[in-house]
């Protein structure tokens, strides 16, 4: 029986160390054993509480990310303490003895001894008496010191990536004059019909988007940081990026602006945004039994959006597609590739579509 208890303890220690390794030292989307499922479960819990607690959803959901970080670190430490406690439990009173006489052999005493060792506080009033237990105490203390150091590094990296994401979101918000309209961005970039310098701006946007993609790869917990202001929302960032690329491909005069439409910057913006959307849908969103239905009325909304965007571009002297009907069909065709993913992501993160795209009545 004692051997079985120790095997379970070793298993808990190994499970915790593997998850820490995959989350902190080998951070790739989908590689986590515990952290990613825990994040999904925590998010479902917060969504459920937001529906039942009499307060605005965004007030409660905005605390989901920090709470997840605290719960994740607590889980790692708890698994290590409990794992080592199970390993040393059977040796209490023999290989581990009290300095004050009688040694308690209950599990709470094992937790006490393990907690002291992991937090590198020493052995308290319990001391190891065998070489194996002395070495085990040193191993647990070394792991404890390493885990706390890695945790601090992980927290700093998470919040550094979060600041970069928020900076990008705020930049897009002000580029669109607070409208969340990609046509507004293009119209301002190409005021008076000059698009010669737009390619660099699109390249900068694509670079920030790729940075966001890689940050999400490395730190999946970023998805669960939801802010009250809609302009910080990840779905809005992706909407502005995808719609900007879509309008460039479909609304501009391809003969005059060929160097922009077929540029690597636009390809990078389109490809990076679509990759981020599909990967988030694959790893985070609940599996849907039915496909997103795009009906005729929704396509009419997109068609109207396209013509409104064309009118705005023309108002700044930007030459648009010669055949607008063909351009509208191309816009709808391209939007079919990303709108279903974006709609599901916005819904999963607790946003109404009117918050993500206030210019579009859907």
- Per-residue pLDDT tens digits for 23-45: 998 877 777 889 989 999 999 99
Residue 103's pLDDT band (cuts 50, 70, 90):
confident
132 has pLDDT over 70: yes
Read off the pTM. 0.89
Number of domains observed in the structure of the chain: 2
Average pLDDT over residues 277-282: 90
Q: Which of 106, 135, 152 is the endpoint of a domain?
A: 152
Q: Is residue 164 part of a domain?
A: no
Contact yes or no for 301/178 (Cβ under 8 A) = no
Looking at residue 284, its pLDDT comes to: 86
Q: Do 250 and 341 belong together in one domain?
A: yes
Q: Do 187 and 53 belong together in one domain?
A: no
Contact yes or no for 205/238 (Cβ under 8 A) = no
CATH of the domain at 76: 1.10.287
Looking at residue 185, its pLDDT comes to: 94
Q: Do 46 and 190 belong together in one domain?
A: no
Q: Do 192 and 291 belong together in one domain?
A: yes
pLDDT in tens, 199-227: 889 999 999 999 999 999 889 999 999 99
Q: Do 207 and 349 belong together in one domain?
A: yes
Q: Is residue 170 part of a domain?
A: no
Residue 342's pLDDT band (cuts 50, 70, 90):
very high
Domain limits at 69?
2-152
What proportion of the chain, given as a percentage, has pLDDT over 70? 94
292 has pLDDT over 60: no
Residue 285's pLDDT band (cuts 50, 70, 90):
confident
Q: Do 314 and 208 belong together in one domain?
A: yes
Q: Is residue 295 part of a domain?
A: yes
Q: Is residue 124 part of a domain?
A: yes
57 has pLDDT over 90: no
Q: Is residue 213 part of a domain?
A: yes
Name every residue whose Cβ is closer than 8 Å to that of residue 201 and which is 6 or more positions away in sequence.
Answer: 189
Q: Do 203 and 313 belong together in one domain?
A: yes
């Amino acid at each position: 029986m004692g051997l079985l208890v120790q095997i379970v303890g070793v298993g808990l220690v190994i499970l915790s160390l593997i998850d820490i390794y995959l989350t902190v030292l080998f951070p790739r989307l989908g590689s986590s054993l515990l952290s990613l499922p825990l994040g999904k479960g925590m998010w479902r819990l917060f969504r459920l509480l937001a529906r039942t607690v009499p307060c605005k959803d965004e007030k409660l959901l905005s605390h989901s990310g920090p709470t997840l970080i605290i719960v994740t670190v607590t889980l790692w430490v708890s698994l290590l303490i409990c794992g080592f406690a199970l390993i040393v439990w059977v040796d209490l009173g023999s290989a581990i003895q009290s300095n004050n006489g009688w040694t308690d052999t209950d599990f709470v005493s094992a937790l006490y001894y393990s907690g002291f060792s992991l937090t590198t506080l020493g052995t308290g009033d319990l001391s190891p008496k065998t070489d194996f237990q002395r070495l085990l105490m040193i191993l647990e203390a070394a792991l404890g010191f390493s885990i706390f150091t890695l945790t601090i590094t992980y927290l700093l990296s998470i919040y550094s990536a979060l600041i970069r994401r928020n900076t990008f979101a705020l930049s897009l918000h002000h580029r669109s004059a607070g409208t969340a309209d990609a046509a507004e961005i293009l119209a301002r970039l190409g005021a008076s019909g000059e698009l010669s310098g737009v390619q660099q701006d699109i390249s900068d946007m694509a670079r920030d988007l790729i940075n966001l993609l890689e940050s999400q790869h490395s730190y999946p917990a970023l998805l669960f940081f939801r802010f009250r202001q809609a302009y910080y929302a990840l779905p809005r960032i992706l909407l502005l990026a995808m719609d900007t690329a879509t309008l460039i491909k479909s609304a501009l005069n391809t003969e005059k602006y060929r160097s922009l439409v077929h540029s690597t910057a636009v390809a990078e913006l389109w490809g990076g945004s679509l990759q981020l959307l599909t990967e988030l849908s694959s790893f985070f969103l609940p599996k849907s039994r039915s496909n997103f239905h795009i009906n005729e009325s929704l396509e009419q909304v997109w068609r109207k959006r396209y013509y409104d965007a064309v009118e705005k571009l023309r108002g700044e002297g930007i030459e648009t597609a010669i055949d607008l009907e063909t351009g509208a069909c191309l816009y709808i065709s391209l939007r079919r590739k990303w709108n279903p993913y974006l709609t599901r992501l916005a819904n999963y993160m607790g946003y109404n579509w009117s918050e993500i795209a206030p210019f579009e009545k859907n």
